[in-house]
Copies of this chain bind each other. A is one copy, B any other.
Amino acid sequence: MPTVKMVEYEDATGEVKEVFDEIMRVRNIDWVPNVWKTLAAHPPTLKRIWKNLNEVMAPGRLDKLTKEMIAVAVSATNGCEYCINSHTAAARKLGMDDEMLGEVLAVVGMFNQTNKLAEGYQIPVDPQYKR
Binding site for B on A (CB under 8 A): 1-5, 31, 33-35, 38-39, 41-42, 44-45, 48-49, 52-53, 55-57, 60-62, 66-67, 69-89, 97-126, 128-131
A4 to chain B, nearest CB (A): 5
With a cutoff of 8 Å between Cβ atoms, the chain B residues found around residue A112 in the complex are 74, 78, 112-113, 115-116
Can you tell how many copies of this chain the complex includes?
A: 6
Q: Is the CB of A85 within 8 A of B3?
A: yes
Q: Across the interface, name the chain B residue whose C-beta is closest to A35.
A: B123
Is the beta-carbon distance between B2 and A81 smaller than 8 angstroms?
no
Given contacts A85-B130, A123-B82, contact A104 B62 (CB under 8 A): yes
Give the distance in Å from the alpha carbon of A123 to the alpha carbon of B89 in the complex.
16
